[in-house]
Every structure is written in structure tokens, then in C-alpha cells.
Amino acid sequence: MSDRIEKLINSAAGKKLLGAMGVTVATDLQRYNTSQTSYFAGAVLLGAGENAKLLPNIQTNLKDSDAQVFYSPDAAAQLAGDADSNASSERYQALIFDGSGFVDATELVSAYRFFNANIRKLKSSGRIVILGRPHLQCNTPEAAAAQRALEGLSRSLAKEVGGKGATAQLITVAEGAEANLDSSLRFILSPKSAYISGQVIKVRSADTAAIADWHKPLAGKIALVTGASRGIGEAIADTLARDGATIVGVDVAPMEADLNKVMARLNGKAVIADITSADAPASIAKALSELGGADIIVHNAGVTRDKTIANMNEQQWQMTLDINLAAAQRITAELLKTNTINDGGSIVGVSSMNGIGGQRGQTNYAASKAGVIGYVDFMAQSKELADKNISVNAVAPGFIETAMTAAIPLFTRMFGRRLNSLSQGGLPVDVAETISFFGNPASRGVSGNTVRVCGQSWFGA
């Protein structure tokens, strides 16, 4: 019965009825498909504040797309004859603003003027991208304040345009890391980032690899995915394989049949292991060493054991922390010790929005997922990883449409999926696309990030 009700609500007639009742109707998001010839197509308007340093990098990036580029007067003036001011009444698929030169709050008015004049021209499923500098690396408190202000601006813009399926992000680029902007800008502008909004992507200096084929950026790479037999884990395996990686999938014995089916379909390798067992790190390392080591490590396996803390027994606490957090740390430590993570590799943890904002009845789960973020923050500063040019990041999914969420009562599910700026739940592929972005060899300058894949949830930071 609930399925029939949901199909009716999601039908054209149902959406029309909801609209007549004053209920916000979610815009269908444009997601990536393999037939696309370019990561971005359409009109884009490029604007800038004073002394913008990233304009040449943005311009170079867009030349490799199917973008029709328009320039605001401020941007054109700073490109020294490489561009003419041609902003018009055109409607845009993307608005890009370079605020990297801001050193004082008074200069922020140029950002206001740019978005005030053009935000109504942004198309459905459009993109807003603001570029700045890491505020803690600024030379003065005034510059730090101006740069940090861009985060509040981008998050607020995301909430203003979310109703049309559009998104807004801030990319901060450290001094000297300008050449590493490319992969982040490609990802944010592309349909692969459809369910990400209101986020900050931090780019720092690192050795990055040139990508011969952006449709297969992971070609020749080995990717380990734990919990790969179904749900988000299966989507991660599918997406990394689509992008060229060979998959080593790990899951427990009861999921062996499902895991074997997935790995057979992807021409991958199945490893049956309980990641909490004492011998799991060594057995996983052995399987990877037989393939020449791993380039991408995705710690996806996880469980929930929901109870309020007064009603939770210690075993429920320990199991959740061990599977979701401690096991991933032990596996990573073993792979580093045995040099089974190749130089230039990537480690990705799967956190959760509830690890950021907390949740009643999930003290164990929230603690474990917050721990993933802490682990990423610390390891991103690790000399051991820096010496091997290994990046480490996390994704924090919000309401993702899976078999687990499908079991939630209908109206609770309908309410829960709408509690974000895009007014809808995400798909497992949205999480997977973000992980593939982190795993891309051109993204080694992207490290220490926790990116929420939540449609800009109303809850959490």
C-alpha cells in the first residue's frame, strides 16, 4: 500500500497536486551518464573580486569543457586581454566567482554585486562555485575574516537556489596549490556532484598525476571496498569500476553469495573476512599484495545498533565502534606497515551526517562516525602519508535511498528525505561519485576533507 502511495506522490499528477497545496516539489537532479562527452556543458558566467589569483586556472579548466564562457567586467579586466566583458541577459548553467584576492570585509561587496545581478539567471540544476583561500593561512585577521565570510555566503546561496535543484560550493585553494584546482572544479561543475551542496572543498599542495582519459580516471588502479556486497558499498564498487579501477571487495561470510555476484559482474576479486577479526588486516593485505598493492582504500563497512544509551548494552556499543571505526584503523595501519597502499594512493572513510549532528538513539553510531572524521583530520597531517603522497578524506552521507531507508514508515521517510535544501533523498551513486573523486590521482591535493553528501541537510554543521 505504501509503495502505491509513494508512486502516486512521485508521479506528474502527484507533484502537480503537491504544488497546488503549497508543498515544495523537488526538482529532478541531473546525474552523470557515460554518454556525456564533457564534464560540463552550457553557459557559465565568470566573476571576480579584486586581485583574483585563480582566474587563469579557471579559464584553463573551462577550455577543456563544452562551456560557453561569459565574463563580468571585473573578471575580464583582470585577464589582461584574454577575455572580453560579455555578460548578458543569458541564462547560465553555472556562476563562478573568484574571491581569492579578498583581504578586507569591505571588498566582499563585489561578491554581493555579482550574485545580486545574476542569481536569477541560474538555470535548474545549475552550479554556483566560489573560490577562495584557506582563512587560517591568511596574513592578517582582516583577510582571514573576509575569506571565512565566503563560506557563510556559499552556504546561504545553496539554500536560496536548492529549490531549483541547483547547488553552491566553496573551494579553498592554498597558496602554491593553484595547479591542483582542476579535479575539484571538474567534479563540482559536473553532474557527479548533483546531491552535494553547501560544502567546502579544501585543496592543498601535492604531487598530482595527469589524467589521460577523464572518463576513466582510475584506469589501472586497484581499489579495496569493504562492505561491497550491497547498498552503498555495491554502488561504490560499481562506480569505481566504471571509472576504470579493479575492485577488491570485502564482506562477511553470510554475504558471500551476494559479494561473489557483484565481483563477478565487475571482474573483481572477492575477499571473505570479518573486518573485526584479529587476522583480517593481514589477510586483506595479502590479497592486495598479490595484485601489486592497492591505490584506493574505501572503509565502507558499517552497522547500526540503535538504542538510547540508557537501554544500550555494552556489546551493542562495542560492536558498533569496532566495525565502524576501530577495524578501519587496524586495516589501514597494517596496509601502511606492509607498504600495501601504493604511493600516490587514497584512503576514504565513510562517516555520516549523524556523526556531525548527532542523533537520539544513536550514541554509539554517532560516536563511531565522528571518530572517522577525527581520524581523517589527524591522518591528513601525517608525515607518513605526506611522504607517500597519500590523501585521506571522508564522505558523510545524509538521507540516501537504500533498502534500509525503504523500510522506514512511509510518512516518516517522506518527511526525512525532504529535510535538506534539495528537498529529496540522495542515491547510493551520489556517495560513490564523491569517493571516486577522492580516489582520482588528480585529486591528491584534496586531503583532510569531510564532504557531506546530503543535499545540504538542515541539521549538522
CATH code at 222-453: 3.40.50.720
Number of neighbours of residue 256 by Cβ within 10 angstroms: 13
What is the model's pLDDT at position 451?
98
Q: What is the pLDDT of residues 341-389, one digit of tens each?
A: 999 999 999 999 999 999 999 999 999 999 999 999 999 999 999 999 9
Report the distance separating Cα 168 and Cα 160, nearest Å.
9
Q: What is the pLDDT of residues 218-237, one digit of tens each?
A: 999 999 999 999 999 999 99
Residue 191 CB neighbour total at 10 angstroms: 16
What percent of the chain clears pLDDT 70, i.e. is strictly above it?
A: 92
C-alpha cell at 374: 577525527
Nearest to 295 by CA among 391, 230, 393: 391
CA 439 to chain centre: 11
The 3-state secondary structure of the chain, one letter per residue: CHHHHHHHHHCHHHHHHHHHCCCCCCCCCCCCCCCCCCCCEEEEEEEECCCCCCHHHHHHHHHCCEEEEEECHHHHHHCCCCCCCCCCCCCEEEEEEECCCCCCHHHHHHHHHHHHHHHHHEEEEEEEEEEECCHHHCCCHHHHHHHHHHHHHHHHHHHHHHHHCCEEEEEEECCCCHHHCHHHHHHHHCHHHCCCCCEEEEECCCCCCCCCCCCCCCCCCEEEEECCCCHHHHHHHHHHHHCCCEEEEEECHHHHHHHHHHHHHHCCEEEECCCCCCCHHHHHHHHHHCCCCEEEEEECCCCCCCECCCCCCHHHHHHHHHHHHHHHHHHHHHHHHCCCEEEEEEEEEECCHHHHHCCCCEHHHHHHHHHHHHHHHHHCCCHHHHHCCCEEEEEEECCECCHHHHCCCHHHHHHHHCCECCCCCECHHHHHHHHHHHHCHHHCCECCCEEEECCCECCCC
Residue 9's pLDDT is what?
A: 55
* % of the chain exceeding 90 in pLDDT: 84
Q: Among residues 39, 71, 195, 365, which one is catalytic? A: 365
Structure confidence at residue 14 (pLDDT)? 52
Of the listed ranges 31-35, 115-119, 247-251, 264-268, the one predicted with least confidence: 31-35
In this prediction, residue 1 has a pLDDT band, given cuts at 50, 70 and 90, of very low
What is the predicted pLDDT for the residue at 16?
A: 60
Tell whether the model's pLDDT for residue 13 goes beyond 70.
Answer: no
Residue 7: pLDDT band (50, 70, 90) is low
Cell numbers 543535499: residue: 455
Q: Which fold has domain 41-203?
A: Rossmann fold (3.40.50)
Supply the mean pLDDT for the chain: 93
pLDDT digits (tens, 9 = 90+) for 81-132: 666 667 676 799 999 999 999 999 999 999 999 999 999 999 999 999 999 9
Predicted pLDDT of residue 459: 80
193, 255, 179, 156: which is closest to 395 by C-alpha? 193
CATH topology match: 41-203 vs 222-453? yes
Residue 129 phi/psi, 5-degree rounding, is: -130, 120
Question: Which amino acid would we find at residue 143?
Answer: A
Q: Is 365 a catalytic residue?
A: yes
- CA angle, 406 then 412 then 417, to 5°: 70
Residue 85 has what pLDDT?
66
pLDDT of residue 78: 93
Tell me the average pLDDT across 44-65.
96
Tell me: the pLDDT tens digits for 276-306? 999 999 999 999 999 999 999 999 999 999 9
Residue 305 corresponds to which amino acid? R
Q: Give the three cell numbers for residue 109.
A: 561587496
How do the domains of the chain map onto residue ranges? 41-203, 222-453
Beta carbons of 199 and 452 less than 8 angstroms apart:
yes
Q: Is the dihedral of CA 55, 59, 65, 66 positive or negative?
A: positive
pLDDT digits (tens, 9 = 90+) for 397-424: 999 998 877 777 776 777 778 889 999 9
